[in-house]
Structure 1
């Protein structure tokens, strides 16, 4: 069995829908570690941890990019991967920097990631 890697740190920039989140949610994104969930794949890396609070309501589908951190209503972030669709309907709190996307692709379920503002 391959031992888990140490915590993977990823730099992020504010996303286009950061206004859908409180300052506390933005702080929570970067002040805690997130566990990669088994349902992760090339479409998206699903993360588990304390739910991020977000505005309630509908958001029309918008263009997305690899590394976008979407937050569905359950508050558990999903980092979009290379096979994600070109549009999405969840607000994007932050985006993983291009330089760190490859590191994200290496994490396995059960491993931990942590974000920090670039």
Structure 2
């Protein structure tokens, strides 16, 4: 079982699936044991209940959900950088998520 879990949320869960695979490749290259998965906005609450992620990253197309998730959750919630999302830069998104986890662990 992975040490930490990153959950990505987008409108339908499709475009983010490609980003997940790029993040997983980056994590493997960096020898980081982490679970990364994507889900649609409509299924986000079910996945939160099932997987209990350490951080929630929102696709830019669902950034309007940020405050709602931040108000309800005790984990870091952030919108994925639009440029990193558009370029499908798995390494940068992975590092952003890990930084949020590290900051929370330090608090």
TM-score range, shorter chain: 0.3 to 0.5
TM (norm. structure 1) is: 0.30
Higher RCO structure, 1 or 2 (CA under 8 Å, sep 6+): 1
- Relative to its length, the structure with more strand (as a share) is 1
